[in-house]
Amino acid sequence: MTYYLAPDACLKWLETRSLYRVTSDELYELDEQSFRFLGDCASSEGCSSDETAFVDYCLQEGILTTRRTLPDRPPVIPAPKPSLRYLELQITDRCNLRCRHCYLGDGAPHELSVDQIKNVLSEFEEMQGLRVLISGGEPLLHSRFQAINDLLPRFMIRKVLFSNGLLISDKLLADLNVHEIQISIDGLERAHDALRGKGSYQKSMNAIALCRERGMDVSVSTMVHAKNLDEFTHMDRMLREMGIRDWTVDVPCVSGRLKDNRDLIVRPEEGGEYLRYGFGSGLHDAGEGFGCGLHLMSVLADGRIAKCTFYAEAPVGKIEDGLRRCWEKIVPVRLDDLMCDCSYLEICRGGCRYRAELLGSSRGKDLYRCFRYDIMNREPGRA
């Protein structure tokens, strides 16, 4: 019997040799022998094996198939260390909303050219990247969104569109080449509309329902703010019932328009505990001993590249410098270097360094996380 690698599977040479499924976002670590064998299965000749237990497991998981399928697969070469696994690609900063907490503020709109996007995605794929978050502003407002959408199937990476949901329609979904849509829901109707404008909650919720009806993976992102604090238990139940895949909950950093809307800001002792909510995986996986988005980098709509969008004012380069060169300039955050001294360090990983910096020191504690883990009460004198 001849076996072939499933069309949504590709080998990625990360810190360990791995196999990634773009449709399910599953990452399997492989030993050298399995990696070589599956590499053969990715070729046009396919592969055969006497290792029936391993082959049976791969067939059961849908990693191997007996049907000959030959998608274009990227080269499998060693990724830099640490590996760049997640890329936020802000294709435009145009938006159809003026959210009161938006970190982008009110500057002149920018957008990346289709060529820039193509080059970034090629480099990211070659660096063994896993997942791209196509964001904005509102990414669907990019003047050449259709051309960008047409490019996406060329790349063996998981594509997630991060939208406010207002422009999502049946017609758009019929041709949309992404694996997942992430939609911002910042509370129930009253609290969400207080940030995003009257009527926006219903439109975003309708968009989620439509995506789910079409069988798409949907994730939700929620900011903790002064008007939604009593709504998280209700939201948790509601989002689970809707079949939401990942729920990211975070506290917005005081930047952009939030600076002018201080009534929305919550202090660590008010907002931290809500960071207990959320489920699924975000973009902040980190290797042992490291924190702060170890595998994440952001490309901004004006072509600058930064550790994440919060560090827009401290870019490490621009698209023309090359993704790899920019990535090599980002210094990983070692947990040993932080002033954190609590027993939650390995799970909290020091929280968000940008937030810690705003609160006093880039090596200091992210107090929102300290309140999330309740260490102020449990470990008196240590926080």
Residue-wise DSSP of 291-360 = ES-TTEEEE-TTSEEESSGGGTTS--EEGGG-HHHHHHTSPPEEGGGS---STTHHHHTTS-HHHHHHTT
| Tokens matching residue 322 | 């090359």
Q: At closest approach, how far in Å is the CB of 355 from ligand SF4? A: 6
Q: At closest approach, how far in Å is the CB of 180 from ligand SF4? A: 19
Instruction: Return the amino acid letter for 92.
Output: T
Under the criterion CB under 6 A, does residue 370 sit at the interface with ligand SF4?
Answer: yes
Work out the angle at residue 320's Cα, subtended by the Cα atoms of residues 18 and 353, and round it to the nearest 5 degrees.
Answer: 60
**Residues 304 to 343: which contact ligand SF4 by CB under 6 A?**
307-308, 310, 340, 342
Q: At closest approach, how far in Å is the CB of 293 from ligand SF4? A: 3
The residue whose two tokens read 């009527």 is 199
Q: Which long-range contacts (CB under 8 A, 24 or more apart) does 30-39 make?
A: 35/11, 38/5, 38/9, 38/11, 38/63, 38/64, 39/11, 39/76
**Residues 231 to 290: which contact ligand SF4 by CB under 6 A?**
284
**Of 30, 87, 249, 348, the one binding ligand SF4 by CB under 6 A:** 348
Q: At closest approach, how far in Å is the CB of 277 from ligand SF4? A: 16
Q: At closest approach, how far in Å is the CB of 82 from ligand SF4? A: 13
Region of 235-243, 260-268, 316-324, 365-373 interacting with ligand SF4 (CB under 6 A): 365-373
Q: At closest approach, how far in Å is the CB of 210 from ligand SF4? A: 29
Whether residue 137 is preceded by a cis peptide bond, meaning omega within 30 degrees of 0, is yes
Q: Which is nearer to ligand SF4, 87 or 205 (CB)?
A: 87
Q: At closest approach, how far in Å is the CB of 340 from ligand SF4? A: 3
Q: Which long-range contacts (CB under 8 A, 24 or more apart) does 26-34 make?
A: 27/130, 28/63
Q: Which is nearer to ligand SF4, 15 or 379 (CB)?
A: 379
Q: Taking the alpha carbons of 72, 76, 77, 81 in that order, is the dihedral positive or negative?
A: positive
Under the criterion CB under 6 A, does residue 101 sit at the interface with ligand SF4?
Answer: no
| 305, 321 Cβ separation under 8 angstroms | yes
Q: At closest approach, how far in Å is the CB of 369 from ligand SF4? A: 4
How far apart CA 219 and CA 281 sit, in angstroms, is 10
Q: At closest approach, how far in Å is the CB of 353 from ligand SF4? A: 4
Q: Which is nearer to ligand SF4, 35 or 310 (CB)?
A: 310
Under the criterion CB under 6 A, does residue 365 sit at the interface with ligand SF4?
Answer: yes
Which residues contact residue 116 at a Cβ distance below 8 angstroms, ignoring those fewer than 6 apart? Answer: 303, 319
How far apart CA 140 and CA 166 sit, in angstroms, is 9
Q: Which helix (H) or strand (E) holds 218?
A: strand 217-223
Q: Which is nearer to ligand SF4, 28 or 124 (CB)?
A: 124
**Of 76, 265, 345, 358, the one binding ligand SF4 by CB under 6 A:** 345
Region of 1-9, 35-43, 320-328, 368-376 interacting with ligand SF4 (CB under 6 A): 368-376
**Residues 284 to 303: which contact ligand SF4 by CB under 6 A?**
284, 292-293, 296
Whole-number Cα distances in Å, 136 to 95, 113, 195, 271: 7, 14, 17, 26
**Of 67, 344, 358, 360, the one binding ligand SF4 by CB under 6 A:** 344
Work out the angle at residue 26's Cα, subtended by the Cα atoms of residues 23 and 27, and round it to the nearest 5 degrees.
Answer: 130
- Residues in contact with ligand SF4 by CB under 6 A are 284, 292-293, 296, 307-308, 310, 340, 342, 344-345, 348, 350-354, 365-366, 369-370, 373, 375, 383
